[in-house]
Each structure stands twice: as C-alpha cells, then as structure tokens.
Amino acid sequence: MSLDGRGSALPEAEYEQLKSDVDAWVRGPGEAWAERIEASGEVPEELWTELKEHGFLSLAAPVELGGRGLSFVQWMGLMEIFSRSHASVRMIVHVVNGTWRAMNPFANEAQRDRFIKPSVAGDIKVAFTLTEPGNGTGADITSTVRREGDTYYLTGRKHLITFGVRCDYWLLFARLEGSTGKHGTVALLVDRHAPGATVIDTSETMGVRGTDHAELVFADTPVPVANRLGEEGEGLAVALGGFLTPSRISVAMSCVGLAERAQELAVEYALRRVTFGKQLAERQAIAFQIAENEADIEAAKALVLHAAEQWQEGRETASALSSMAKMTAVDMLTRVTDKALQVHGGLGYWKTQTIERVYRDARAQRFEEGTNEIQKTVVARDVFRRAAVKESK
C-alpha cells in the first residue's frame, strides 16, 4: 500500500471526466449551497452527505483505503476547481482528503479499519487538533497526558480547531506529563464525547462562513492507549511529518482556485458594466488590472504545480518549495481579490455580489498551515543550509 498516496494515478480520460464532473457540481449545486450557507451561516449535514455520495471526500486516498487513487498532482487539479466554490466546501474536501495522510503511516491495521477507512469513506469526521491558545503549534505544545495502565488522561486546551464541534474524533497532539521537546509528544484519537472534554463553539469568523471551529478544554479526559497513533515520542512526526508539506501545497492551490474565481467575476463584470457609453473592459485602467491578475495567477499556479510534482516524486526540495508556493500564492490571492473587488466599484462592497464573499474568504488561507512569516523562516533556513553544505565541499 502507498502510505502517502504518491504512487498511483487515474487514467487520463477518466481523470478528465472527473474534472468535468467536479466543475459541473461546483458551478451548479455548489453555487446553490453557497447561497444557502451564506444566508444561514451554517453548513447543513446534508452537504456533507452530498459530497460523500458524489465520492468527493475520498478522492485523494489510495484505493486500498477506499479512495479513488488519484496522484497528488491530479488531486491538486481538483483542489483548484473545488476552491472556486464556497470556502466551506473547499475546507471540507481539503481536510477530509488530507487528514488520512497524517494518520496512515503510523496506524496499525486495526486502526486503519476503525478510523482511517471510515474517515476516507466520509462515515466519521476527524478534526486535526494541534493549535493551542497560549503557545505555538510545534514542540512547545503544553497539553499533557499521564498514563495509567491502558488509559491516558488528557489535560489542556486547544483552539481554532476546524470541525472541532461536529467531528467524531479529534486527532489530538499532546505531550507526556513531565516531558519537554518533540520526544515527549503523542498523537491520540480522542472521542468527541469523552468525559472531561468541554467544547466551545467559536464559529463566528470573517469568512469561510458555516465551517465550525472550536475551542477545547480537557480535564482528565480518558483516552485508550489503543487510540494512540505511532509510539510515544512520535506525536509531532504524525502531526508534521508526511502531512504538512502536501497540506501546504493544497492550501496554496486553493489560493489559485479562489483567485481564478475572483478574476472570472471581475472579467464578467467588466464586460457587462457600461459607463459613459463604454464597457469597463475597454478602459485601459481596468484592462491593465485584469492583465496583472492573469499573470499573477499563472505564475503562482506554476510554482504550486512544481512543488506538487516535487513532493509526488519524493524530492528533498519539496518541503521548502511547499512554503515558497504557499507564501507566493497567498500574496497573489490578496492582490487579485483586491483588484477584482476594485473592478466592481462600490457595488462590490455589497453582500449581493459574489465578489464580496470571495474577498472575505480570501483572508483565511493567510494563516492555514502557518503564516507567511513561518513560511519565510522555513525557506530562509533551507537557503542557508544549502549554502553551508555547498561551502563545506
């Protein structure tokens, strides 16, 4: 079995048909769902069911886990299309099609049958649970567990946890009581309804309306040792190892898809809107903004696909490239959505316009899988490391 989903691909004709099917859903039912979500502020369970029934939650995983068996580059092509839809749709397919990557390399067969295959199938929801309110998202985590026989007892806090309210399990990262650094960390699948767990709904966000987020408080919450992925000391390896790089590339591609949607809306409006007897598209100031957007999108997309290819091939360069792709795509999305909104003039400020939603949603990717400041740190460290290696030769 391919543990990380790099080693398979759909035949080209089958893949092109799948892309066409996804695009048709995004432009049809997806738009209807977008209007419903924006009106209610909630993602109904029926949407999850519809995505499951279309097979959209199990696209990226290997066939052996119940997935469609796309290559990673193929999956990025679909991520690009899904990201033109409502941000909550994008968030669901991104998370469900990615969480298995963290779990699978460290799972035993019983855990694959109990957690991973049902997650890929869309039968259970698993929420990635790393971030804490009082520190960062790495070796400085402070949530702790103490072990008594076959049970861990969990104490601590987590926040900004996507799908943390409606999930079935939290894929949660903590440290052994009294330990420091990454070597004391553990990865646990914690039952959403375990005693001693308090869930605070924090879903009121600027954009990505309808996606639930949670703050979590644990007080001696029991977790079976059988729910631990990997060994004690491998918690951060589960959280960051084979998961973070492809997830950053996926978020970067979501920036490309959303930017393409913003550009599409701007072009449509520029062709439709007439001032003083001329289309906006005929005015050089508008045309130049559209041209800049198009070049910006294509440049970012090329880098994202390069990073995706490098990761798919198992290249050492993939990690730094994923950070380059994400920081480049995030900045591109900011520029493109700002110009697209400007093309709409004052009308773009109204919630009746799709561009208003796209503009709000575009802010979310700036902190997903690490801010640009984090990405720059990763890239700079890689640049200096390579320079030092070269100098030592």
pTM given for the model: 0.94
CA distance 119 to 241: 20
Which one of 7-11, 153-157, 368-372 scores highest in mean pLDDT? 153-157
More confident residue, 95 or 6: 95
For the CA atoms of the chain, what is the radius of gyration? 22
Contact assessment for residue 351 and residue 230, using Cβ atoms and an 8 Å cutoff = no
CA distance 144 to 185: 9
Domain boundaries, the chain: 12-124, 127-236, 243-387
CA distance 210 to 208: 6
In the CATH hierarchy, which fold is given to the domain comprising 243-387?
A: Butyryl-CoA Dehydrogenase, subunit A; domain 3 (1.20.140)
Percent of the chain as helix, strand, coil, to the nearest 5: 55, 15, 30
Considering 45, 369, 373, 391, which one is annotated as catalytic? 369
CATH code for the structural domain at 127-236: 2.40.110.10
**393 confidence band (pLDDT: 50, 70, 90):** confident
Query: Is residue 35 annotated as part of the catalytic site, yes or no?
Result: no
Q: Quote the percentage of the chain above a pLDDT of 70.
A: 98
pLDDT in tens, 64-100: 999 999 999 999 999 999 999 999 999 999 999 999 9
In the CATH hierarchy, which fold is given to the domain comprising 12-124?
A: Butyryl-Coa Dehydrogenase, subunit A; domain 1 (1.10.540)
pLDDT in tens, 103-148: 999 999 999 999 999 999 999 999 999 999 988 777 889 999 999 9
- In this structure, the number of other CB atoms found within 10 A of the CB of residue 54 comes to 14
